[in-house]
Chains A and B, each alone.
Chain A
Amino acid sequence: MPQSLLKLDNVTKVFLTDEVETHALSGIHLEINKGEYVAIAGPSGCGKSTLLSILGLLDTPTEGTYLLNDRPVQGLTPAERARIRNRQIGFIFQSFNLIGDLSVYENVELPLTYRGMPASDRKARVEEALEKVGMAHRAKHVPSQLSGGQQQRVAVARALAGYPAVLLADEPTGNLDSKNGDAVMELLHSLHRAGSTILMVTHDTRFARHAQRTVHLFDGRVVEESVEEKA
């Protein structure tokens, strides 16, 4: 029996700018189980990133409910949301979002420091994560000394280091050439095989096929769900 990890029920997101309402999401129903690899696809402006922001607790829905591990999260305080982001969600961004003034090691270590984890434990987790993405040898470098593909690997390591319940990837290959893009997708694939739950936003159907299931968005609504036979 699959176990539900994320569940959105009738989620709506409205942005209000200068008294003009923009409906970014309308009546979204979505459920993602533990261990699933789901892609969210759709054209630019369809609400993919807004949906990911809500799932990642970076934003709140205007209406509807959001259950994470069967717990409603829409009414949490900013501090509780930060705690959940830190412990249960791993983020991978299109533009890597590494902190340029920190070394590779420090970037990966950063979310662990916010947990108050002892230094020795942090060290073990960081080394493990960097080993997993094949970047242990660049631990002392700063992001500007790495290629785009390497930076994204570091970002993946940072997301993994905290043993999150789900990895949220927002166009993870968007800033990479095809070779590096393929390598990152392969990395995500291997992580999924190892048991990680992954939710990936992409507008590229080629990469969406790596997921078990693809949710298609258009104008803020789920218009189609397709299941890949070979995930």
Chain B
Amino acid sequence: MWLWFSKLGSPKWFYELSGRWLPWLVAAMFAFLFVGVVWALLFVPQDYQQGLTNRIFYVHVPVASISLAFFPLMAIAGTITLVWKMKLADIVVKTAAPLGAWFTAFALASGSIWGIDTWGTWWIWDGRLTSLLFQFFLLIGVVSLRSALEDSDAAAKACALLSIVGCINVVVIKYSVDWWNTLHQPGTDFVLSSNKANGPDIWVPLVLMIGAVYLFFAVSMIMSTRNEILERERRSQWVEELVDNL
């Protein structure tokens, strides 16, 4: 277990392992995306109130829900950075922040465009929308904090701390729809029986899209983590050998 843990922290080991996994993850991502998008756009029946705007649900919900995973991920990696100074953990904190900002921005934008016709407004200072906008600014804050601090050790510590504190906002986002019930609808439980309003013909494509977006998240994170490893380890022997063999 400890051997595995210390190996996982080794950039070289991660670089080699992720290089073997990446093609499979990319293939799975495109497969899930293709089936999910075709199903959502062509086959899902229209909603009795919102008509065909329910197509937006299948991209908005996966991206918005996975956007909540960024702060917990960065907080775990940040804690590992603070306690064990593992090289790889700080790289994860660094690469997750801008991707998280993209996720949050897309969740806000797609929600706004959906709201234009279904809510009659593209923006309202509702609990869910406001706390998600706050998450966007927090993530931009983590990105700029790192570029503002010259000393990379201090930057790693500061970003780790901000990531841990930022988790409080995730709890607010999650329960915002129950605490302040304004326009954004609360969470929904899905049912297995297909004669219910939200049966499998509604949620199976959603599950596919959630899988697709998770795979995209993994692929993009791994790609930028590998880039960061190459830059930070450029003086190490294994990177020099890798470059020589090009």
Tell me if chain B binds chain A: no
B residues near A (Cβ < 8 Å) are none
A residues near B (Cβ < 8 Å) are none
